[in-house]
Amino acid sequence: MAHIETYCYAATMDIKASNPLRLNQHDVARLPRRYLFLLLTLYIAAGLTWRDLWRQEAGSFGIMLTMAQGGVSDWIYPNVAGLYSTTFGPLPYWIGAVFIRLFSFIMSPFNSAQFAIACQGALSAYLLWLGVYRLGKRDELQPQRLAFGGEPSPTDYGRMLADSAVLLLVATYGVAAHTHDTSEGATVLLVCMMWLCGAISALERPAKGRWLWSLGFAGMGLTLPFTLFIFFIFTTLGVLFFTHWRENSLHVTPVVIAIGLLTPAIWFFNMAQNPEFFLNWRSNQHFTPLSADNVTFFGRNFFVFTWPIAPLGLWCIWRWRSRWSNPMMVLGVLLLLTPLGHLIISGQRFDASMLMFVPGFVLLAPFGLATLNRGRANIIDWFSLLTFSTLLLLVWMFWIAAWTGFPTQLTRNIFKLAPNFQMEFKWWPFSIAVLVSLGWLLILNWRARFQPRALWKAVALSSSGLVMIWVLLATLIMPWLNYTRSYSEAGKALTSNIPSEVSCVRAIDLPANIRGAMYYYANVPFVPERSEFAKVNCPYVLTQESTLKLNTPIKNTSSVQLHNQTWKVIWTGERVSERGNALILLRQ
C-alpha cells in the first residue's frame, strides 16, 4: 500500500512538473471589449483609407477588375486584362470581384475591393479568437490547481488566451503589411484561420466544426500555390487521424476530405481545358533546392516580419515540450512545419511566403505568453515602449519637416524622393493623428501607474503601438506615401493620349502590376497575351524604357525602332519612385 501511495504521489508530481502553467485569477483579468473593438477597427481601417491604387497591389486588383467586368472565362482563368496569372488560385480574386459587382454603385471598384479586404481581416480575427478560446478551455491545457485555490476557471483562462491571440495578431508587423492591400494576403490568412478554427471546433463539436474545417481546406486549394496545398493535404490527413480527432473521424473525415479536395479539383479540371493557361500554371509548379538568395532573405527578414509571435511561439514549444501530444502543440507545430517543408523542398518563395508561418505562431504564442514570468514579460513591454515611442517622434518629425523645412537634412531627403510634392493640410486626418498620439500617452500612463497583472498586458503595448504607428502613417504620412506609390497621375495622363476609338494596345514586357494600374486608371484596351492574338496588329504599344534599351534618354527621342519597325513616341510618364524607367506609349 505504501508503494502504491508513493507511486501515485510521484506520478502527480511528474504531471505538475510537466505543466508549465501556474496562474491565479488576477492573471486572467478581463480585457475591456470596447478597447479590443476600437483597436481592431483602427487596425483594419488604417492603410485602406485616403489613398490610391499602389504598385504592390495593382496586379491582383487588375485580376479582380477583369473578372468583375469580364465573362465566365475570366473567372476560371485569372488574368490581368488578358495576361494570365497562375501563382495563386482564383479565390482571392473571386472575393474581390464579387464585392466590386455588389458595391460598385456606391463606391469605386478599388474601394469595393478594399472593403472586401477589411471584411476578410475582421473575419480572420474573429475565427482566431473563437479557435483559441475553445482550445484554451480544454482540460489538458488548464493551469495547475493551486494549494489554496484561486486558479482561473476554464472560461476565464480561454478568454484571456483568445484576447491575447488577437492582440498578438494585431501586433505583428508582417500581418499588417500583407493584409492591408488588395493582394492575396488577406485571403491566405482567412482560409488558414478557417482551417485552424474548424480543426479545433471538430474536437468537441464535430457536426459543426467539420463544415468550417472543410471550407478552410477547400479555400486553401483555391488560394495557395499548388505545391504548398499538397503539403497541407498531408497535414490535414495527419491531424484527422491523430489521437484527439480519431474518435470523431467517421463523422468528420469524409466531409473534410470530400469538400476540401473535390472543390479545388473542379477548378483544376476546368483549368486543364485551356492548354495555354494550364502550361503557364504548370511552369510555376516546381521542386528545386532553396536558393542562397532566399535563405538570405528569410534570415534577414523573418524575425522582423514575425515579431512578437515567433519568439513567444518558440518559447511555447520549449515550455510545453513534455506535453507535445496535446492539440495545441500538434496543430501549432504542424502549421509551422508545413510551410517550412514546402520552402525547403520546393524552393519557392512567393509574396505571402512568410505569412504562412503566422497561423502556427499565433496559435502557440498566447500559450507561450501564459508561461512567461514577470521579468520576461516586462522585456516585451520595454521593447514596445521604446520602439513605438521612438517611431512616434520620427513620424511627427517627418510631418513637421515637410511643413517647416526643419530639420534641413530630413526635408531634403523627403523632397529628393518625391520631387514637386506639396503638403496638403486636412483637419480630419490631423485630428485623428493627434487623438491617437494622446491615446498612446494615456496607455503608457496606465501601464506605469496601475502595473496590471493580467497576462495580456505584455502585448497590449505592442498591439497598441503598432496600431498607433499604422494610423499615423495613414493620416500624417499618407499624402507623401500616396504621391510616391500611386499610378493615378500617370494613368490620367495616359488617358488623354489614347483616342477613345482605339480598340487595341499591345503591352510589351509590361509587368502585371503596371498593366493592372493602367487598365484601371486609363482603361487601356490591352490585346490579350495569348497565342491566337500574337499576330494582331495594334496601332499603339505600351512598354517601358528599360525594354527599348535606348542609348539616349527617351525625353530626347521622337521615334524608336521596335521589332524592325519605326514607332513614334507619343507619351512618356513615370511613377515618382521609378525615375529612369519611364512608361512609353508608341504609335506605329
Tens of pLDDT along 10-61?
334 344 446 788 888 888 888 999 999 999 999 999 978 889 999 889 999 9
Pairwise CA distance, residues 151 & 216, whole Å:
35
Asked if omega into 511 is within 30° of 0 (cis), the reply is no
For residue 110, the model assigns a pLDDT of 96
Same domain, 253 and 389: no
Over residues 291-331, the pLDDT tens digits come to 888 888 888 889 889 999 999 999 999 999 888 889 999 99
Same domain, 443 and 502: no
* Domain final residue, candidates 369, 384, 413: 369
Give me the residues paired with residue 587 across strands.
540, 568
Looking at the domain assignment, is residue 52 inside a domain? no
* Domain final residue, candidates 336, 369, 402: 369
| Average confidence (pLDDT) over 86-90 | 95
> Could you tell me the end-to-end alpha-carbon distance of the chain, in angstroms, rounded to an integer?
101
Write the burial class of residue 442 (CB in 10 Å: 0-12 exposed, 13-18 middle, 19+ buried): exposed
Looking at the domain assignment, is residue 358 inside a domain? yes
Yes or no: say if 559 and 569 are a contact pair by the CB < 8 Å rule.
yes
| Average confidence (pLDDT) over 87-115 | 96
Over residues 132-181, the pLDDT tens digits come to 999 999 998 988 887 666 788 999 999 999 999 999 999 999 999 899 99
Question: pLDDT band for position 84 (50/70/90)?
Answer: very high
298 SS3 class: helix
Over residues 464-493, the pLDDT tens digits come to 999 999 999 999 999 999 998 888 888 989
Model pTM? 0.93
Q: Going by DSSP bridges, is the β-strand pair 583-587/540-544 parallel, antiparallel, or unpaired?
A: antiparallel
Number of domains in the chain: 3
Same domain, 155 and 293: yes
Same domain, 507 and 456: no
Same domain, 441 and 519: no
For residue 335, the model assigns a pLDDT of 97
User: Who contacts 541 (Cβ-Cβ below 8 Å, separation ≥6)?
Assistant: 505, 506, 507, 508, 562, 567, 585, 586, 588
User: Who contacts 440 (Cβ-Cβ below 8 Å, separation ≥6)?
Assistant: 388, 389, 392, 464, 465, 468
* Domain final residue, candidates 321, 342, 369: 369
For residue 8, the model assigns a pLDDT of 42
For residue 556, the model assigns a pLDDT of 65
By residue range, what is the domain housing residue 430? 374-485
Distance of CA 443 to the CA centre of its chain: 27
- Of the listed ranges 80-84, 123-127, 555-559, the least confidently predicted one is 555-559
Pairwise CA distance, residues 257 & 141, whole Å:
28
DSSP state of 47: T
For residue 123, the model assigns a pLDDT of 98
Pairwise CA distance, residues 581 & 575, whole Å:
9
Query: Residue 189 is which amino acid?
Result: L
User: Who contacts 583 (Cβ-Cβ below 8 Å, separation ≥6)?
Assistant: 490, 494, 514, 518, 542, 543, 544, 545, 572, 573, 574
Same domain, 382 and 359: no
